[in-house]
Amino acid sequence: MRNAVDRPIEREYRSAIADNLRWKLLTIRPGDIFVCTPPKCGTTWMQTIVSTLLFPDGAPGVVMQVSPWIDARFNAIDDIRERLEAQTFRRSMKTHTPANGIPWSSSAFYIVVGRDGRDAFMSRLNHMRNMRPEVVERLAASAIEDGIDVQSPPPLEDEHEYFAWWLTNDYWFDHVASFWSHRDESNVLFVHYDDMKVDLGVQMRRVAAFIGVEIEESQWPELVERCTFAAMKERAADIGDFDRLFAGGADAFLYKATNGRWRDLLTPAELAAFDQRAAETLPPDALAWTKGGHSAVGGP
């Protein structure tokens, strides 16, 4: 099958956890769906939504297996490639890599999910604290063997030192800026975490219309309920094997889904540093969208 890529990878994004060069080994098909988010911005939530819309009568497997994270170094890329090539149905994939680090195809669909960067930081901090140490050590060792420059973050116990590191080392800013430049393209859809929390049904209908999936009206209540955060926690085994990588399993990975916890942690100086970094990297309307959702920029 011909690789339906219009623009190849333009920049390398490589770390102990993820390596975007793995994308070079995949063949992109017309109609492929990419769930594109910075870490801890509703990725698994959107993967579950897409899977539910594509397979309203039941997915053909565990969500995170059917819709794999391509860049992640947890699993061999050859295994992921074989799994995707064997899929005869419409495919979806996940990435945390900015837009200039993944293949771009005019015949693919890119769903970009955003969240206030300060909320993403708080969720990321909890996420890393719960990742099994032996997994982190194994990834770091194998990354060095693969020639990846591994940069060790500061201790997770010091939230303020970790925030200072996050400001300049996390891809949140690059991710938002890179995809924002594509926001007017017909094969790109922006969905905000907060808007999903306010009215999940409306956002699911937006996603369905974007990817061209028609759902019987009578099915909508059940499908929306299936994608609530509470329902996802109850059927965690259908979503992914969380215990393999995280102490606390699904309860640690699918944590609180709450916003604003940064108000009790970050100092005025740290908040000012965040705004300065955002002003240096993001257009004003992009920053407004991350903080307030579509209502902040006049969208649905």
Give the whole-angstrom CA distance, residue 246 versus residue 233. Answer: 15
Per-residue pLDDT, 176? 96
What single letter denotes the amino acid at residue 161? E
pLDDT beyond 90 at 258: no
Residues 264-285 have a mean pLDDT of 95
174-201 per-residue burial string, b: 16 or more CB within 10 A, e: under 16:
bbbbbbbeebeeebbbbbbbbbbbeebe
C-alpha triplet 187, 193, 198: angle, nearest 5° = 115
Q: Where are the domains of the chain?
A: 20-297
pLDDT beyond 70 at 250: no
Model pLDDT for residues 58-92, shown as the tens digit of each residue:
889 999 999 999 999 988 999 999 999 999 999 99
CATH code at 20-297: 3.40.50.300
Model pLDDT for residues 135-145, shown as the tens digit of each residue:
778 888 888 88
Model pLDDT for residues 23-51, shown as the tens digit of each residue:
999 999 999 999 999 998 999 999 999 99
Which of 267, 264, 69, 234 has its CA nearest to residue 164? 267
Per-residue pLDDT, 242? 65
- Tell me the pLDDT band of 300, cut-offs 50, 70 and 90: very low
- Tell me the pLDDT band of 239, cut-offs 50, 70 and 90: confident
The CA–CA distances, whole Å, from 57 to 46, 53, 60, 264 equal 18, 9, 10, 43
> Which phi and psi angles does 104 have, rounded to 5°?
-115, 125
Model pLDDT for residues 157-212, shown as the tens digit of each residue:
899 999 999 999 888 999 999 999 999 999 999 999 999 999 999 999 999 999 99
pLDDT beyond 90 at 156: no
Residues 212-236 have a mean pLDDT of 93
Per-residue pLDDT, 1? 63
Per-residue pLDDT, 110? 98
pLDDT beyond 60 at 299: no
Per-residue pLDDT, 170? 81
- pTM recorded for the entire structure: 0.92
Per-residue pLDDT, 188? 97
- Tell me the pLDDT band of 225, cut-offs 50, 70 and 90: very high
Q: Which residue has the tokens 């299936």?
A: 226
Q: Which residue has the tokens 């649905």?
A: 300
pLDDT beyond 50 at 231: yes
Q: What H or E segment, with its residue span, contains residue 111? A: strand 109-114
Model pLDDT for residues 87-132, shown as the tens digit of each residue:
999 999 999 999 999 999 999 999 999 999 999 999 888 878 877 8
